[in-house]
Structure 1
Amino acid sequence: MYLTQALHRAVQQTPDLAATIFGDRVRTWRECHDRVARLAGALRALGVEPCDRVAILALNCDDYHDVQLAVPWADAVTVPVNTRWSAAEVAFSLTDAGAGVLVVDDTFTDQVEQLRALAPGLRTVIHTGSRPPAGALRLEELVAGAEPVEDARRGGDALAAVYYTGGTTGTPKGVMLSHTNLVTAALGAAATGEFMTPGGRLLHSAPMFHLADGAGWIARNLVGGTHVVLPAFTPAGVAEAVERHRITDMFLAPTMIQMFVDSPEARERDLSSLDHLLYGASPISEAVLGRTMALLPRVRLLQAYGMTELSPTTTILTSEDHLNGDLRRSAGRAVPYAEVRIVDAEDREVPRGTVGEIVARGPHVMLGYWNRPEETAAALRGGWMHTGDGGRMDEAGYVFVVDRIKDMIVSGGENVYSAEVENALSTHHAVAACAVIGVPDPEWGERVHAVVVLREGCAAPEVEELRAHCAERIARYKAPRSVDVVDALPLTPAAKVNKRELRARYWDGSDRQVS
């Protein structure tokens, strides 16, 4: 298995089909094949050796697609860089990965000088766009001037990419994924029979540096079709793109779905071309899911659960499962290539229905963390990837994610899982989005606290109103005892709610995050 295999098949079978659409620029698979072979030749001429790391720091664009194919074509390893990081954080990833070559776009031109100073191992900068930094090579000139080279066909268990985690739980770690990891996950998801429309059009609006979008990119390459690329997510931009380009498939994180389905543009545009809406990266509330199904009644909804370390998918909730109200609260069942278990603190499998840690194994499990053998051994102990997520499994194998284990709130001696509270809270008519965290409390040890974004035109409800609303759906001790109303929830680059940032104001000055 190798990532570039799909490009050979595409140029053989559909050479004149659009491979990428970015704004008004359309490139066919024949053009893509030529660009990739030439860019790989340019990388080799620049001294890129087998296994060298080539990083890319850019907003979504068609060149991102080409770079992700050209790097393995040249027998090297891709390092997608988080576009929301500071220069210091970017430099950390470049230095940690040992990346000597960096591809940047106009957005990051002004950072290059600082990156060179902070990451002395960076020897070559390649620029895509119209405003190159001093000393940078232009990608288009490299492509035009280079001779095409043969595909190295780097594949199998060889390292394909190093994806850095978002850093919400500490210093970012480089997740090492092989070609087998990535292709297995994409093929296995496609084996569900409804993951991606063959020959269709996939919209990229989630960040391409994140594997949640990258998994869709690989799957689209495998089943054939076209990539339509937006620089970034906006509800209006997504709605316009779906109508204009007749999008068949797209991935959105739950927070993006909420913003999209609640936007006026989603109701004004023709969305009838959509076949599949895949979501994941964090739990989705039942209220948002209900509004999505009402807006898009014929669209097949699929939830993918996993993490970067799992390439990234290990369970899928199918569109048929979404028709069952009870199953909609689950993350689905193990995909064909994965084994999934729920285990206790001693890694013993627990009885069905018991909450424990979700673990998985299979050919999609990462090779390990870059240069972190101890953390790799801890995460992969016993041959299973330990997700750090708390969940339970029913008798039919459906996994219900209750929270990140570290997000569990212990209030008055009772365990409270915030995902359950968030689901109840989100059904209140005034709540557009919410997050639940534990905060210090002199009486209860930890208090269940809600941070709420209001729906447009709604007044802030009193705490007791929200408690009563939640108490109709979950045990009263789980209901929030305090509430903050904010304009927006802080998000990680993967569009998950950044609970670490929410907690900081309450736990600053404390030497621990529990009470």
Structure 2
Amino acid sequence: MRAIRDAAGIATGGRPAVNWWPADTSEPADQPGLGDRLAAMAARHPARRAIDGDGGALDYAGFDARVNRTARLLRAAGLGVGDRVAVLSENRTEYLELAFAAARSGVVLAALNWRLSAGELGHCVGLVAPSLLIASERFAGAAAGLLPDDRVRVFGHDYETALAHQSPAPLDSDDPAQGLDPESGLLILYTSGTTGLPKGALISHRAELARLALSTGELGLQAGDGFVAWAPMFHMVSIEHAMHVLCTGGCVTVVDGADIPRLVDLAGTRPQWWLVLIPGMIERVVAEIRDRRARPGGWRPAPIRMVGALADLLPPDLVAEVSGALNAPYWNSFGSTETGMLPAAGTRFAPGERPADLAKAPNGLHLWRLVGPDDHDVAPGEAGEIAVRGPTVFSGYWNAPEANARDFRGGWFHMGDMFRQRPDGRLDFVDRAKYMIKSGAENIYPVEIERVLMTHPRVGEAVVVRRPDRQWGEVPVAFVALADGAAAVTPDELFAHCRAHLARYKCPREIRFVASRDDFPRSTSGKVQRKLLEVRAMESMEGVA
């Protein structure tokens, strides 16, 4: 294991940079892994439905057998403990089979983002040097040339034939994966690459087991709960939480993307643990529900324990509307690929509640600090970058020693997100540390301005970006979408609203209107791409205060 982690440029001394576990040991793991937990569910509930997808349904016995066949297929292809298998595919049952087969065999699954360009995909493959790439038929063309042809497989008839030749029995008792070190890699999930090419975040077995414990201990996941995996499985929010549900005896419904009618169908018929909804799609979900309620017989939601994500990025009225429509609490979440769901485990809004307070309660699996540029703790009430330690934290970026040395400095992982601590211990998200507007001698965090703008009754969403300024260096520029059905509002009215609630230096210098919330450019995770809006901000000086 040490050689593998050292080659990845992840840690010194064979341990992750955040040294959560004790010193290195050759003793086998003393707790069941994710593959063991799936096997336990299959033994306990063999006939219970595990997967429901476009390719058909599988019970736990059938899914477990296919996972065993897949693990043996990886071995037959020459992959050993620590080798990487890359996958380039839309959401499908085989994707989850590969993930659990990796857990059982000690192979590391690198989940490629099919939205990337050919050059970016080539970078991601070259970064982790997989021994094998498995693609779906849809993305077989994009996979061509990423590895030699003899190291590429495609889901379909030939793949199924090869799988059928493998035994459905577990790997042999003398297989190298038995007694796997919990610090061994399980998943490589790629970061969004907003400041450059994507980085590969290595998530260990230890981290994934801790994230499972967080899901069951603080996020409300109960035995037998359902989950709809519609978000791309190259994202943490989909692949990890689908695995957690399968480790607790629930059913995962595999959906190929944000099919709004299908998601509303399922919200009305399938009880769910967590219905993931992200900015950019929630308005369409609400509109679909409204339309169905107007039809004969109406529409009623099935029991859902919680909905949503990223409340900081949504207008409060929309949070209230979607949670009320689904009769489920809205989860005031905050997390990252690198840390799992941190620190917002305990904060939810009641169905129909319009949140006036987005403070987040830290979960119980982390230590955290708020630090300034000198890495010293900031004074109470000041904004600081959050630095964390805990068992859910990833092991580091693959083959990126400089980034790891920077981000894990002092033995804490520095997330790059700014928070303020309240006297009661809760945390207010301020903004990304790297996206700060430096106006004169003052630091301006865009989220502070956005929150004020969205308290105006006719504003549906607001996004603030920086624009170069000859006098001040940078100034804030606001892009505003009106609320649905709202009467027009002038820039002067919004300037006055900002001046009533913000220090003058924080007020936007320009306000530009967009036709609707759908006109904001967003990433695959629903986050507004401020860099693209910066380009628009340079195009016009209209509406300047």
TM-score range, shorter chain: 0.7 to 0.9
For residues 290 and 153 of structure 2, the distance between their equivalents in structure 1, rounded to whole angstroms, comes to 37
> Residues of 2 paired with 1:155 and 1:19: CA distance?
28
Q: Which moved more, 1:85-94 or 1:18-27?
A: 18-27
SS at match of 1:42: helix
Given the alignment, which residue of 109, 117, 122 partners 2:140?
109
CA contact (8 A) 1:100 1:123 kept: no
Tell me if the contact between 2:269 and 2:301 (Cα under 8 Å) persists in the aligned partners. no
2:163 equivalent among 143, 150, 155? 143
What is aligned with 1:397?
425
- Correspondence for 1:53: 84
Provide the TM-score with structure 2 as the length reference: 0.83
Pairing 1:424–2:455 present: no
Q: Indicate the residue corresponding to 1:434 in structure 2.
A: 462
Match of 2:476 in 1: 448
Match of 2:316 among 273, 276, 286: 286
C-alpha separation in 2, matches of 1:406 and 1:333 = 23
**Post-superposition shift, 1:223?**
2.6
Measured at CA, do residues 74 and 439 of structure 1 come closer, stay the same or move farther in structure 2, by a change above 3 Å?
A: same
Question: Residues 276 and 45 of structure 1: is their aligned pair in 2 closer, same or farther, counting only changes over 3 Å?
Answer: same
Matched residue, 1:301: 330
> Residue 340 of structure 2 corresponds to which residue in structure 1?
311
Change (3 A) 1:71 1:310: same
Scaled by the length of structure 1, what TM-score is found? 0.88
TM-superposed CA distance for 1:57, in Å, is 1.2
Question: How far apart, CA to CA, are the structure 2 residues paired with 1:263 and 1:419?
Answer: 29
Distance 1:196 1:327 in 2: 27
Normalized per residue, the structure richer in strand is: 1
The change in CA–CA distance for 1:14 and 1:266 in structure 2 (over 3 A counts) is farther
Q: Find the partner of 1:165 among 171, 176, 191.
A: 191
Q: CA deviation at 1:489?
A: 1.6
CA offset digits 1:31-52 (Å, max 9, x no partner): 1001010111111111112211
Question: Which residue identity does 1:188 align to in structure 2?
Answer: L
Matched, 1:36 2:64: no
Aligned to 1:409: 437
Equivalent of 2:304, from 274, 279, 297? 274
The Cα of 1:433 is off from its aligned counterpart by 3.4
- Name the CA distance, whole Å, in 2 between partners of 1:187 and 1:422: 35
Tell whether 2:529 aligns with 1:501.
Answer: no
Report whether the alignment pairs 1:15 with 2:15.
Answer: no
Structure 1: runs of 5+ lacking an equivalent: 130-136, 509-515
Shift in Å at residue 321 of structure 1? 8.8
Matched residue, 2:24: none
Could you tell me how far 1:100 is from its partner in structure 2? Answer: 2.4
Residues 460, 105 of structure 1: alpha-carbon distance in 2 compared, 3 angstrom cutoff: farther
Per the alignment, in what secondary structure is the counterpart of residue 140 of structure 1? helix
Amino acid at match of 2:302: S
**Which piece of structure 1 moves more, 162-171 or 414-423?**
414-423
Give the 3 Å change call, closer, same or farther, for CA 464–155 of structure 1 in structure 2.
farther
- Over the aligned positions, Cα root-mean-square deviation in angstroms equals 2.7
Alignment of 1:302-341 (within 5 A): 302-319=331-348, 328-330=357-359, 332-341=360-369
Residues 458/121 of structure 1: CA separation in 2 closer, same or farther (3 Å cut): farther
- Structure 1 residue 255: Cα displacement: 3.5
For residues 222 and 33 of structure 1, do their structure 2 counterparts lie closer, same or farther at Cα, with a shift above 3 Å needed?
A: closer
Partner Cα distance (1:498, 1:124) in 2: 36
TM-aligned CA deviation for residue 76 of structure 1 = 0.5
Paired position in structure 2 for 1:134: none
Q: Which protein has the larger Cα radius of gyration, Structure 1 or Structure 2?
A: 2
Matched, 1:182 2:213: no
For the structure 1 residues 326 and 434, does the alpha-carbon distance in structure 2 shift closer, same or farther, using more than 3 Å as the test? closer
Unmatched segments (≥5 aa) in structure 2: 1-30, 172-176, 294-298, 540-545
**CA 1:150/1:18 → structure 2, altered by over 3 Å: closer, same or farther?**
same
**Matched AA of 1:204:** A
State the shift of 1:399 in Å.
Answer: 1.2
CA distance in 1, matches of 2:488, 2:474: 24
Partner in structure 1 of residue 107 of structure 2:
76
Contact 1:54–1:102 under 8 Å retained in 2: yes
Aligned length: 494
Q: Deviations over 1:398-434 (max 9, x none)?
A: 1111000122223354332111222232344554433
Q: Per the alignment, in what secondary structure is the counterpart of residue 333 of structure 1?
A: coil
- CA change 1:353–1:214 in 2 (3 A) is farther
8 Å Cα contact 1:195-1:302 kept in structure 2: no
1:489 matched to 2:489? The reply is no
C-alpha distance 124-229 of structure 1, shift in aligned 2 (>3 A): same
Task: Tell me how far apart the structure 2 counterparts of residues 246 and 138 of structure 1 sit (CA, whole Å).
Answer: 36
Give the secondary structure class of the aligned counterpart of 1:253.
coil
Q: Structure 2: how far apart are the matches of 1:415 and 1:258?
A: 33
Which of 233, 236, 241 in structure 2 is aligned with 1:211? 236
- Cα separation, 2, equivalents of 1:415 and 1:87: 38
The CA distance in 1 between the partners of 2:381 and 2:233, in whole Å, is: 36
Is 1:468 equivalent to 2:499 in the alignment?
A: no
Q: Distance in 1 between matches of 2:270 and 2:335?
A: 30
| Alpha-carbon distance in 1 for matches of 2:55, 2:77 | 31
- Identify which of 241, 250, 253 aligns with 1:225: 250
Q: Which moved more, 1:492-501 or 1:473-482?
A: 473-482
Shift in alpha-carbon separation, 1:338–1:311, aligned structure 2, 3 A: same
Query: What is the match of residue 513 of structure 1?
Result: none
Contact residue 39 and residue 142 of structure 1 kept, 8 A: no
**Where does residue 153 of structure 2 map in the other structure?**
126
**Whole-angstrom distance in 1 between the partners of 2:379 and 2:352:** 27
TM-superposed CA distance for 1:264, in Å, is 4.6
Whether the aligned pair in 2 keeps the contact of 1:355 and 1:390 (CA below 8 Å) is yes
Indicate conservation of the 8 Å contact 1:165/1:172, yes or no: yes
- The 3-state SS of whatever aligns with 2:533 is helix
2:76 alignment partner AA: A
Paired letter, 2:198:
P
Contact 1:490 1:501 in 2 (8 A): yes
8 Å Cα contact 1:357/1:405 also seen in 2 = yes
Aligned partner letter, 1:492:
S
Q: What is the CA–CA distance in structure 1 between the aligned matches of 2:211 and 2:520, rounded to whole Å? A: 31
> Cα deviations across residues 156-188 of structure 1 (Å, max 9, x unaligned)?
111111111110022211111101111102212
Change in 2 beyond 3 A, CA 1:266/1:222: farther
SS in 2 for 1:438: strand
Q: Report if the CA contact (8 A) 2:319-2:353 is conserved.
A: no
Judging changes above 3 Å, is the alpha-carbon distance between structure 1 residues 285 and 420 closer, same or farther for their aligned structure 2 residues?
farther
* 1:235 corresponding residue in structure 2: 260
**Do the aligned partners of 2:188 and 2:202 also contact (CA within 8 Å) in 1?**
yes
